[in-house]
A and B are shown apart, each in its own frame.
Chain A
């Protein structure tokens, strides 16, 4: 395991991040590992919890929550824990939705737009270059503007779509956080890989930063910076 890269010392000892497990979550343990790799304690949250156990931030991990029956994230948004998260996010709780977690955030209307079937109609797993378009969110403050990072993607329904008004608003207000560089892997509008809410505390993205925390098990360690950014945001707050 990598050490406590990004640790900011004793101040961070009392900080906790909740990682949610729905039935069908797959990358929950990986997200927890990445959070710990950034030097932050993890509290596992169960989908039936109507209580966030005082966590300072939440990660909604990848997977197929409730089998993704109906649509990705469509059932998860009605879970007790997501109800709590929606309320807390409104009060500023940092929330990161990865892949299926991004779909849940869209279904729960914490983020606008939707994720639909990839343009190629196939599941795609590859190492993808992203550009960090907005380095001022809770989850990206340790990146440089325009920095290119290498993060795995793996999804069948990752094509970001929204109506023209929403897209305009996202672009104008700098809420497009990550963009695909090079080949667009899924046909996402404006090459959008991830977006933020207005306040910048809620971020959703299709790529998997938790699978880029060291060069042994991922294509880079670029993803670790996302969790280090969170720590920075929490310590600063």
Chain B
């Protein structure tokens, strides 16, 4: 007798993975079990290609007294003092956002917010890092409009301030936009929750929305494979969000936590109930019995496979002691949130799922959650391509030298999609709700006060330059970390911890795996050097169309703390007559720069030198100067160099400046050397002395004032002309 072959390949499982399932179970899996292994062992859920590389974040982590929960939980938790802790994480929703921009982006925000909530935290802010194809390309407008509206639509309706992030354009992302959403939350230490199903006899309760047919196989179908011409037909694999349901769920869960009514909680994200049952059981007592027919459905005809793999949004799984069940149900009733008892914690060591009395799943939960395949994927530096890229330096590109040509360059760069104002995007986001926003866009870092009864706040920045990482993935990842670290330091905050969203092409391509290995190695080293551990994050592979991968794009978020938010430092020139001081050293580093890209469409050579010691000194200086009230503004120098930094600082409050450049004007204005910032101060002598103490080179550049950016002996640029150029671009492109 021959058995009918099982459709494991359609579920994203490879031959050897299927064989392993047979070995684990000692029999053929049921259809339902097979589907669960398919989603749980997908790249997206199991991190099977990245695990061996991500280990170094934990193994080489700098010691940090602030870490309460490290990498591995839903999100890392960092102590910020006064009995309060902060949890934060960035996560990708790239693939769904290309297929269905509004819902893809919206549910990306919804998903990361639940990750924060599930730690016991009240979410207090969001940020987003978005990357699109060329701004002028035909499909970009659809994606920009949909994705920005989706991020805003969901976050605004949840009542979470969006305090910053970034928007980038590059042809590399044309078929693979990047939507990385970050959320930060705050909790008292004793409210920390864990995703564990402990206590035999405890009750498993599903909270929130009904389960529908949306998002089935999202993790395995969309996020774990490369796009091809079939992409539009994958729309049913995209989840549909209802932010109102999530807002209610947040308030309801926080009341449950405060009342001490749950012993464990897990959000439902990728792989839906499969993941929530398997992970909570595996990390608890090990056993659970679920009566699947009790799960409330949107469509009565759904079958167990669909129910277990649906990624319907706005759901949480709570583990509750029997004595508290009535209280939990009553509290959910108050908020109008659905709550249904679906199972119990057992001591059998097995996850048993029944469907109207028939057993459809009977497995050891750890085999789903923890024993997925681990791959040491082949790694191969693409020598020919990478060497040619490195050899193609920007040195041969024609550089402007006259005042008129430099003026024209500053203006064109300020108006380019690369560097222009992001106001068109950020005006669609509520930055005021919750009443704690102290700095938001267009300042370097977002800063929020973490409560009404405290002056304490946190600062966040998110950076992910993919061009530097293309030139050198190791150094590029380090430069992104350095930039985010510098941004929060400019706000006057002390950097504490890191979250990362690693966006790469297919892990089955050895060249991509080389990029990934280099980037993670670089990031782990730099985290150690800067004393900021990675607390969590996300890997997004398969960001490629056909054989062409995106530029490797490690997006790095840095969390920092301020003891007194009143001492935060804004990025804009505040008033006339302040001294403008440049901090750090400028070398001739134009490869991979905004200038090379905007003016010449060029990408090649070596990225700017990574200078982590200098970053540390600069950050220490900025922090001290902020605490002493010595600086009125601080703005980091990154894309577009000094010229762009002065333009942005001048336009924020409409206060110009007169500066002189030292040495070669072109290099001074456009180089993107790392570890630099400009600050303004009333007391230049004191600042120069403080900089000396910190070993940071400091140079007087000029003074603020007037209605123009004046570079002495070279050119003047009126603020009105600059503003028109800077502000006009995105509205003209996207309506």
Contacts and interface: CB of A to CB of B under 8 A. Distances in A.
A133 interface: no
A139 to B, nearest CB: 19
Question: Which of A26, A27, A126, A210: most chain B CB closer than 10 A?
Answer: A26
B611 to A, nearest CB: 34
A53 interface: no
Interface stretch (A85-93, A117-125, A158-166): A117-125
A125 B452 contact: no
Contacts of A218: 432
B437 A125 contact: no
B573 interface: no
Interface in B239-255: 242-245, 247-248, 251
A123 B156 contact: yes
A123 B335 contact: no
A33 interface: yes
Given A122-B149, A123-B152, A27 B159 contact: yes
Interface in A191-222: 208, 210-211, 216-218
Contact of A217 (B157, B243, B435, B453): B435
A64 B157 contact: yes
Given A33-B435, A125-B428, A26 B247 contact: yes
**When A and B form their complex, which 8 residue pairs have the shortest distance between CB atoms, in order from nearest?**
A67-B244, A26-B159, A30-B435, A211-B432, A154-B430, A123-B428, A64-B157, A152-B432
B25 interface: no
B276 interface: no
A231 to B, nearest CB: 20
Contact of B244 (A23, A30, A62, A154): A23
Contact of B438 (A24, A63, A124, A217): A217
B199 interface: no
B427 interface: yes
A169 B566 CA distance: 46
B244 A217 contact: no
B335 A154 contact: no
14 contacts: A23-B335, A23-B336, A26-B433, A62-B433, A64-B247, A66-B244, A67-B244, A123-B149, A123-B156, A125-B426, A125-B429, A211-B432, A216-B449, A217-B436
Interface in A23-77: 23-24, 26-27, 29-30, 33, 62-64, 66-69
Contacts of B434: 29-30
A1 interface: yes
A125 B244 contact: no
A216 B438 contact: yes
A104 to B, nearest CB: 15
B349 to A, nearest CB: 41
A154 B153 CA distance: 12
Contact of A122 (B159, B428, B453): B428
B623 interface: no
B435 A67 contact: no
Contacts of A211: 432-433, 435
Contact of A63 (B149, B159, B335): B159
B432 A154 contact: yes
A124 B428 contact: yes
Contacts of A26: 157-159, 247, 433
B565 interface: yes
B433 A24 contact: no
Contacts of B428: 122-125
Contacts of B245: 67
A23 B159 CA distance: 12
A30 B432 CA distance: 10
B486 interface: no
Contact of B449 (A27, A154, A217): A217
Contacts of B242: 67
A123 B153 contact: yes
A139 B596 CA distance: 56
A152 B158 CA distance: 18
Contacts of A69: 244
B154 to A, nearest CB: 11
Contacts of A126: 427
Contacts of A62: 433
Interface string A90-126: 0000000000000000000000000000000011111
Contacts of B159: 26-27, 63
A1 B454 CA distance: 8
A217 B437 contact: yes
A24 B432 contact: no
Interface in B439-472: 449, 452-453
A30 B426 CA distance: 21
Contact of B432 (A29, A66, A125): A125
Interface in B143-169: 149, 152-153, 156-159
A124 B242 CA distance: 20
B431 interface: yes
A24 to B, nearest CB: 5
A23 B248 contact: yes
Nearest to A26: B159
Contacts of B156: 123, 154, 156
A29 B161 CA distance: 14
Given A210-B435, A217-B449, A125 B157 contact: no
A67 B433 CA distance: 16
B680 to A, nearest CB: 19
A64 B565 CA distance: 29
Given A33-B452, A216-B438, A125 B247 contact: no
A66 B335 CA distance: 11
B119 to A, nearest CB: 21
A125 B427 contact: yes
Given A23-B335, A26-B159, A216-B438, A208 B432 contact: yes
Given A29-B435, A124-B428, A125-B427, 16 more contacts: A23-B244, A23-B247, A23-B248, A24-B248, A26-B157, A26-B159, A64-B157, A67-B244, A67-B245, A122-B427, A123-B427, A123-B429, A123-B430, A217-B435, A217-B436, A218-B432
Contacts of B566: 216
Contacts of B565: 216
Question: Which of B243, B247, B429, B433: most chain A CB closer than 10 A?
Answer: B433
A86 B247 CA distance: 27
A121 to B, nearest CB: 9
B413 to A, nearest CB: 25
A76 B429 CA distance: 24
Contacts of B336: 23
A152 B208 CA distance: 33
Contacts of B244: 23-24, 64, 66-69
A124 B428 CA distance: 5
A126 B431 CA distance: 9
A219 to B, nearest CB: 9
Contacts of A156: 156
